[in-house]
């Protein structure tokens, strides 16, 4: 029998970040600061690196571990020493009970399938990924994809979070969306929250995730407006109409989505920052300035140095959902953005858009659409 003075010590949580791009590296930085300071977490944070060879001939993961810097995706920022880069995904997740997913959304299905049977039974997840998969049955949010393939609960974290600004510790806010378990949500808040990164939780996974996903489509529209030099009034109008379409589509797809979610950091704040400063806006600006003659693939490769654009693929996915459900005419902004991206319309079509006031009230009540 154990001596009575040997109390059972609760197991410390172990965190692995699956992804090491721009936001993935900043997320690892935030988390690693907290795991060092909060007793209930194990100090070390594993960060899975999709391995690549740098121009120097070295592996990216070796350079991160030697220099404490992700020289490709977050140059100039030191990561805490307790972040350990690991190119072996199965090894990286093996001991973790808290999994943070943060890769471009198009890689997630493959990643999840590789992890089946490789994670701890008590693992829980959070997704920082903006995007969705479109299946024959309809849209599948990335948090649902993770839950369905891996059989674990998955929260989301979204917000007005341009990674490079958080990397230099400028104040910002973020929203955790959770389904039922408030305790798990609070643990995620504890893991991410710092004095310069204020996190709060709302019980609305789909609302939070759809805000983060759909705003990238609106950011492309804002970028077209900038590239056409239409000015601030037009851009504000596009943002307002975009927010309205974001809210309407979210509520049509998931009637449980709450209005208040759109006033959290993941909603209007993320929309504003993305339409002012994000990479989707920048590439769409360049696309419009070139009259749509240079493709988004070309602009992404030239302007983003390995980082991925999410808006163009999300616009296509949203278009597929709208077209499948017969909703294209109800969402003229989303529809027009995809038609511009795919070359069917000129960038100037975005400002030829007018709000069909007779149609939009229908968006508020899904019953009319059945
Ligand atoms: N960067 C931001 O400011 C920001 C902010 C909030 C949310 N996000 C979201 O975070 C997610 C990740 O974005 P990011 O900025 O960290 O990445 P990124 O665009 O900076 O980098 C791309 C990443 O994809 C990896 N990659 C390339 N090919 C791959 C493959 N075949 N399989 C797996 N991984 C591969 C690269 O190694 C790299 O880590 C996205 O959903 C994005 O929308 C980004």
DSSP 107: G
What per-residue confidence (pLDDT) applies to 47?
A: 98
Ligand 1: distance of its center to the CA of 360 in Å? 34
- Segment 315-324 mean pLDDT: 94
pLDDT tens digits, residue range 203-225? 999 999 999 999 999 999 999 99
Q: Is 22 annotated as a binding residue?
A: yes
Assess whether 68 and 185 both reside in one domain. yes
pLDDT band at 355; cut points 50, 70, 90: low
> Does 248 fall in a domain?
yes
Assess whether 87 and 30 both reside in one domain. yes
DSSP 192: H
Give per-residue burial for 57-76: e unless 16+ CB within 10 Å, then b. Answer: eebbbebbbeeeebebbbee
- Ligand 1 atom with minimal separation from the 23 CA: 16
Element (H, E) at 134: strand 132-135
- CA 341, CA 264: separation in Å to the nearest integer? 29
Give per-residue burial for 263-302: e unless 16+ CB within 10 Å, then b. Answer: ebbbbbbbbbbbbeebbbbbbbbbbbbeebeeebeebbee
Assess whether 156 and 267 both reside in one domain. no
pLDDT of 187 higher than 80: yes
Annotated catalytic residue within 29, 72, 187, 215: 215
pLDDT of 5 higher than 80: no
Assess whether 93 and 226 both reside in one domain. no
Assess whether 167 and 226 both reside in one domain. no
pLDDT of 365 higher than 60: no
105 Cβ inside 6 Å of ligand 1: yes
Mean pLDDT of the chain: 92
Which residues lie below 8 Å from residue 232, measured CB to CB, with a gap of 6+? none
- CA 176, CA 98: separation in Å to the nearest integer? 15
CA torsion sign, 79 to 185 to 166 to 133? positive
> Does 38 fall in a domain?
yes
CA-nearest residue, atom 38 of ligand 1: 21
Here the tokens at position 152 are 């674990």
Report which of 113, 91, 77 is spatially closest to residue 47, judged by C-alpha positions: 91
Assess whether 118 and 152 both reside in one domain. yes
Out of 168, 187, 203, pick the residue that ends a domain: 203
Query: Chain centroid to CA 304: how far?
Result: 17
Strand pairing class (154-158; 124-127): parallel
Ligand 1: distance of its center to the CA of 306 in Å? 9
Mutation test residue for ligand 1: of 104, 173, 199, 214, the one with most atoms within 8 Å of CB = 104
- Ligand 1 atom with minimal separation from the 20 CA: 39
Higher pLDDT, 135 or 346: 346
Ligand 1: distance of its center to the CA of 298 in Å? 18
Assess whether 58 and 98 both reside in one domain. yes
- Ligand 1 atom with minimal separation from the 164 CA: 3
> Does 144 fall in a domain?
yes
163 Cβ inside 6 Å of ligand 1: yes
**How many domains does the structure of the chain reveal?**
2
Cβ count within 10 A of residue 306: 11
Element (H, E) at 267: none
Mutation test residue for ligand 1: of 47, 88, 103, the one with most atoms within 8 Å of CB = 103
Report which of 91, 106, 136, 114 is spatially closest to residue 21, judged by C-alpha positions: 106
> Does 47 fall in a domain?
yes
* CA-angle at 306, arms to 301 and 311, nearest 5°: 70
pLDDT of 370 higher than 50: no
Residue 93's domain is classified under what CATH number?
Answer: 3.40.50.720
Assess whether 173 and 215 both reside in one domain. no
What per-residue confidence (pLDDT) applies to 57?
A: 97
pLDDT of 288 higher than 70: yes
Ligand 1: distance of its center to the CA of 112 in Å? 15
Element (H, E) at 370: none
Here the tokens at position 255 are 């009637």
Query: Chain centroid to CA 141: how far?
Result: 11
Q: Can you tell me which residue has the tokens 């490789």?
A: 118
Residue 293's domain is classified under what CATH number?
Answer: 1.10.1040.10
Residue 14 burial (10 A CB sphere; 0-12, 13-18, 19+): buried
Cβ count within 10 A of residue 327: 20
> Does 8 fall in a domain?
no
What per-residue confidence (pLDDT) applies to 91?
A: 98
Q: Is 215 assigned a catalytic role?
A: yes
Ligand 1: distance of its center to the CA of 305 in Å? 12
- Segment 230-243 mean pLDDT: 95
pLDDT tens digits, residue range 193-204? 999 999 999 999
Report which of 63, 65, 38, 39 is spatially closest to residue 52, judged by C-alpha positions: 63
> Does 298 fall in a domain?
yes
Residue 135 burial (10 A CB sphere; 0-12, 13-18, 19+): exposed
CA-nearest residue, atom 8 of ligand 1: 23
Report which of 171, 329, 346 is spatially closest to residue 265, judged by C-alpha positions: 171
130 Cβ inside 6 Å of ligand 1: yes
> Does 1 fall in a domain?
no
Q: Is 193 annotated as a binding residue?
A: no
Out of 188, 203, 218, pick the residue that ends a domain: 203
311 Cβ inside 6 Å of ligand 1: no
Assess whether 197 and 227 both reside in one domain. no
Assess whether 271 and 359 both reside in one domain. yes
> Does 2 fall in a domain?
no
Assess whether 243 and 303 both reside in one domain. yes
pLDDT of 9 higher than 70: no
What per-residue confidence (pLDDT) applies to 256?
A: 96
pLDDT tens digits, residue range 60-93? 999 999 999 999 999 999 999 999 999 999 999 9
- Segment 315-323 mean pLDDT: 95
pLDDT of 323 higher than 90: yes
- Ligand 1 atom with minimal separation from the 60 CA: 37
pLDDT tens digits, residue range 144-172? 999 999 999 999 999 999 999 999 999 99
Assess whether 233 and 99 both reside in one domain. no
Ligand 1: distance of its center to the CA of 204 in Å? 24
Instruction: Note down the domain range covering 361.
Output: 207-369
Out of 173, 203, 233, pick the residue that ends a domain: 203
DSSP of 27-66: HHHHHHHHHHH-TTEEEEEEEE----B-TTS-BHHHHHHH
DSSP 10: P
């Amino acid at each position: 029998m154990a001596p009575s003075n040997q109390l059972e010590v609760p197991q410390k949580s172990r965190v692995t970040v699956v992804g090491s791009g721009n936001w993935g590296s900043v997320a690892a930085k935030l988390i690693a600061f907290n795991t060092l300071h909060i007793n209930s977490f194990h100090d070390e944070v594993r960060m899975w690196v999709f391995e690549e060879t740098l121009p120097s001939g070295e592996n990216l993961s070796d350079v991160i571990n030697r220099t404490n810097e992700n020289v490709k995706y977050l140059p100039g920022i030191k990561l805490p020493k307790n972040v350990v880069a690991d190119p072996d995904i199965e090894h990286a997740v093996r001991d973790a009970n808290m999994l943070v997913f943060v890769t471009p959304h198009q890689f997630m299905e493959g990643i999840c399938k590789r992890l089946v049977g490789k994670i701890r039974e008590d693992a829980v997840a959070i997704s920082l990924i903006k995007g969705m998969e479109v299946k024959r049955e309809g849209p599948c949010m990335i948090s649902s994809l993770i839950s369905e393939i891996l059989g674990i609960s998955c929260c989301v974290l979204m917000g007005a979070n341009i990674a490079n600004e958080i990397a230099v510790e400028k104040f910002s806010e973020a929203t955790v969306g959770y389904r039922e378990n408030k305790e798990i949500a609070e643990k995620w808040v504890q893991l991410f929250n710092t004095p310069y990164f204020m996190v709060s939780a709302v019980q609305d996974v789909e609302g939070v995730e759809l805000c983060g996903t759909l705003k990238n489509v609106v950011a492309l529209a804002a970028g077209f407006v900038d590239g056409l030099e239409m000015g601030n009034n037009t851009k504000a109008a596009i943002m307002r109409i975009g927010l309205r379409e974001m809210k309407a589509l979210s509520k049509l797809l998931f009637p449980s989505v709450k209005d208040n979610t759109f006033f959290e950091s993941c909603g209007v704040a993320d929309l504003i920052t993305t339409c002012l400063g994000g990479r989707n806006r920048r590439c769409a600006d360049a696309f419009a300035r070139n009259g749509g003659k240079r493709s988004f693939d070309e602009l992404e490769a030239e302007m983003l140095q390995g980082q991925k654009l999410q808006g163009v693929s999300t616009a296509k996915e949203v278009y597929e959902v709208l077209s499948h459900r017969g909703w294209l005419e109800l969402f003229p902004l989303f529809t027009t953005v995809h038609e511009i991206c795919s070359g069917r319309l000129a960038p100037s079509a975005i400002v030829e858009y007018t709000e069909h006031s007779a149609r939009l009230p229908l968006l508020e009540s899904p019953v009319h659409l059945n």
